[in-house]
Amino acid sequence: MSTPSTTLPQDSTPSALALLGPFRSRRAIVALALVLLAVMPGQIGEITRAMMTDAYVQVSAFVAATLLIFYGAERLFHFDMGQALKGSKRWQVPIASLLGATPGCGGAIVVVAAYSSGNVGFGAVVAALTSTMGDAAFLLIATRPDAAAVVLPLSFAVGILSGWIVDALPAIRLQPSAAGCAYVPLIGRIRAKDIAYFGIFLPGIVLGASQLLRLPFYDTLGSLPMIVGLAGTATGLWIWATSPVQAMTNSADAPLTRVAEETSFISVWVIGAYLAYEFTVTYSGLDLAMLFNSVAPFLPIAGVLVGLIPGCGPQVLATTLFVNGLIPFSALIGNAISNDGDALFPAIALNPKAAIIATLYSTVPAILVAYGFYFLAPGFMN
């Protein structure tokens, strides 16, 4: 496979090194701050360790699994997904929407990476972010397959329609920023830390699937989930803090390296989102269940607004509320369409303006579909 033109050359210019060096320094400070929070005594340390464990077992392991499938398939069948999307032309939006509708966030992340490299248009990004349900899709499939059989195809169709509309209206199109993809260094080898990350990933995905499927033995494992979660988090922070990669990796690198790098990057954002949410709930008394059930007509818009929160944690919570009968299907479908899962994190890093606009665009069909079900089929799937 030929090395993409975005590869950072061996004789990197000083400006390129200047771009990457301080970025790693800031990452080391963030990683150290997270470690200090985790080792703090009392409630803050307990919350941090619990959220790091949940972020790894509930999100990172699934992100790694889906990315491994995509990048492994690319290497096995000798093709580049970004280039394949670029050559798809009229099928670009449907394929992007299909990738987004794939359970987990890997498909949508691939589309975001393709956009940052100039391989797909903005409509494809909107389609992928609109159709994705993120990791909440795994929970819905496991607990309410009947609802999943409606949500996932409907999100896929809405994603296609949204992407086509965006591409058809030049006024709302957005071109990728060259700054987001100017330098994609080639790591060029599988490193010890990649192997370590994959070694922890194997028990991590088993634990994550067990928790998601609510298998009884998960509760008998004692401290094992936390040990695995914290080990995976620590390895990810090590990879992220010492990485030359900004967000997305070079397609010429080995799948294990790409998965370790990109999952570690996303995991830091997920941990931040989890901690921000949990600290807010703990110290402000915010109760989303009460919020969702306070006034019935606002339940669909509440689902949509929760979907705007980056990451999969709040979306998993919204799906859990539906599974437990606390919110109607209209709120669930609004959340599913508006949420962008973990794909929003690399999108923000690569092109903040595009990320914000794309996620705002997804709220329009989310509101329309949610209130369509609320008024026309209020008891659907309840």
Q: Comparing C-alpha atoms, which of 372, 360, 279, 376 is closest to residue 333?
A: 372
Task: Measure the CA–CA gap between 84 and 66, rounded to whole angstroms.
Answer: 18
47: tokens are 């919350």
Are 93 and 101 in contact, with CB atoms under 8 Å apart? no
Question: Residue 38: phi, psi to the nearest 5?
Answer: -70, -30
Q: What is the pLDDT of residue 174?
A: 63
145-168 and 122-131 helices, crossing angle to 10°: 160
Distance CA 59, CA 134 (A): 9
For the stretch 169-216, pLDDT in tens is: 865 666 655 444 445 678 888 999 999 999 999 999 999 888 877 777
Q: Which helix (H) or strand (E) holds 303?
A: helix 299-307
**Tens-place pLDDT, residues 337-357:** 998 877 777 777 767 787 888
pLDDT at 183: 54
Tokens for 274, please give them. 């989890």
Domain limits, the chain: 14-268
Q: Is the pLDDT of residue 253 over 50?
A: yes
Rank 106-115, 178-187, 195-204, 272-281 by mean pLDDT and report only the highest. Answer: 195-204
Please name every residue paired with 7 in a beta bridge, in sequence order, or none if there are none.
184
Alpha-carbon gap, residue 271 to 357, rounded angstroms: 24
Query: Above 60 in pLDDT, residue 21?
Result: no
Predicted TM-score of the model (pTM): 0.69
Please work out, in degrees rounded to the nearest 5, the angle formed at the alpha carbon of residue 127 by the alpha carbons of 125 and 132.
Answer: 95
Which runs of E-coded beta strand occur in 129-245? none
345: phi then psi, degrees, rounded to nearest 5: -65, -55
pLDDT digits (tens, 9 = 90+) for 214-233: 777 777 888 899 999 999 99
The mean pLDDT of the chain is: 81
Q: Look up residue 1 and give its two tokens.
A: 């496979």
**What is the pLDDT, as a whole number, of residue 10?**
39
Percentage of the chain modeled with pLDDT above 90: 29
C-alpha 120 chain-centroid distance:
19
